[in-house]
Amino acid sequence: MIDSSLYLVGIRKDTGEYEEKANSCQLCRKIIINAGIKEVIVKDNNKKGYELINVEEWIENDDLLERKDNILRERRKLMSKPIVAIVGRPNVRQINIF
């Protein structure tokens, strides 16, 4: 999920209408940060039809996160490297670069 985009839409249970300005709770934000997601795109009723949220802004503005500088530094380091997955089977070795 590193460097990916998450599309978020909220629909009200009582009316079936889109929830304007839907957003993630604090726990969900931490899950999104830990997953390495780069941006959250939220359905909105503005001219564009959506709002783009940069996840790094959540990290920079979050008072609950300790060691913000370390988190940002590690995130940027991870996002700058290709992800390598080594899939092993007996006598066969395959390397996938994503």
| pTM reported for the whole predicted model | 0.62
d(CA 72, CA 74) in angstroms, rounded, equals 6
Strands in 5-8's sheet, in edge-to-edge order, are 5-8, 39-43, 50-54
Residues 3-52: tens digit of each pLDDT: 899 998 888 888 888 887 788 888 888 899 889 999 999 988 777 888 99
